[in-house]
């Protein structure tokens, strides 16, 4: 058979530099993926697509087959493409759609906060939480911090789902973390007259924001062909 499913915990072909599973698993675990949330022109729900959790045994390497993922299957009569064809609802998984032609998984505004691309992203986010969020939580109380954290994640994912590339899955708590960083920035500006070295605090927050983009860089590297 031309395609076969892969059940690897860490995707090896193409290699996931974040040390995590395949796109199929991530999307079906709750990644923010606009085609699963609303109808999009880039992935019409009535089409059939190359299944995400497939590898090839006929000469193509992982990057070559990855380039075909999410492409509509034109020749539906071909037994080769039929063996690897998935509907959008099958790609999205989870609860499916109420109407198969109308993607409606709006819960994906929240679920990406608890899904990570892999071990590397999880560790980066955990360390960022430790150094960034602890101080804000101490200023607020745990209940207020939780509300702030979830709201930052929600609105960050709303913006991302509407303005980011629709076929790029997103997962992780970066949206919440950047919201918390925004609070830190506002706190520095608000407390500017009372800080002994305000520029030092401002530079510290700015450097942290810059370093927070390293995870995004690794995500781009993960999807780039080798």
- Segments of the chain scoring below 50 in pLDDT: 1-5, 56-62, 67, 213-226
Residue 223: per-residue pLDDT: 43
pLDDT of residue 74: 52
pLDDT recorded at residue 214: 46
What is the predicted pLDDT for the residue at 14?
72
Residue the block writes with tokens 């986010």: 125
What Rg, from alpha-carbon coordinates, does the chain have?
20
Write down the pLDDT at residue 82.
Answer: 54
Given this model, what pLDDT does residue 190 score? Answer: 84
Structure tokens at 226: 């080798």
Evaluate the CA torsion angle 101, 47, 91, 82 in order and state its sign.
positive
- The pTM of the full predicted model, rounded to 2 decimals, is 0.76
The pLDDT score that the predictor gives to residue 32 is 94
Task: Take residue 183 and report the two structure tokens written for it.
Answer: 């609070």
Dihedral, 29, 31, 36, 42 alpha carbons, nearest 10: -130
Residues β-bridged to residue 12? 15
- pLDDT confidence of residue 33: 93
- CB atoms under 10 Å from CB of 207, counted, come to 10
Measured between alpha carbons, how far is 207 from 202 in angstroms, rounded to an integer?
A: 9
**What local confidence, expressed as pLDDT, does residue 68 receive?**
55
Instruction: Note whether 160 and 32 are within 8 A (CB).
Output: yes
Reading the block at residue 1, the tokens are 């058979």
């Amino acid at each position: 058979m031309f395609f076969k499913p892969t059940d690897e915990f860490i995707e090896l072909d193409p290699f996931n530099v974040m040390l995590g599973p395949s796109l199929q698993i991530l999307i079906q675990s709750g990644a923010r993926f606009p085609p699963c949330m609303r109808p999009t022109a880039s992935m019409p729900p009535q089409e059939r697509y190359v299944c995400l959790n497939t590898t090839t045994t006929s000469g193509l390497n992982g990057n070559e087959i990855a380039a075909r993922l999410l492409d509509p299957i034109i020749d539906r009569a071909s037994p080769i493409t039929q063996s690897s064809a998935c509907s959008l609802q099958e790609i999205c998984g989870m609860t499916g759609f109420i109407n198969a032609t109308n993607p409606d998984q709006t819960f994906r505004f929240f679920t990406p906060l608890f899904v990570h691309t892999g071990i590397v992203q999880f560790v980066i986010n955990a360390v960022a939480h430790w150094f960034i969020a602890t101080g804000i939580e101490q200023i607020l109380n745990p209940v207020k911090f939780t509300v702030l954290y979830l709201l930052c994640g929600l609105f960050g994912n709303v913006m991302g789902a509407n303005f980011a590339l629709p076929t790029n899955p997103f997962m992780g708590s970066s949206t919440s973390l950047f919201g918390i960083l925004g609070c830190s920035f506002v706190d520095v500006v608000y407390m500017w007259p009372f800080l002994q070295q305000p520029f030092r605090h401002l530079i510290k927050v700015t450097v942290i924001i810059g370093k927070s983009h390293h995870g995004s860089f690794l995500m781009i590297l993960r999807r780039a062909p080798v």
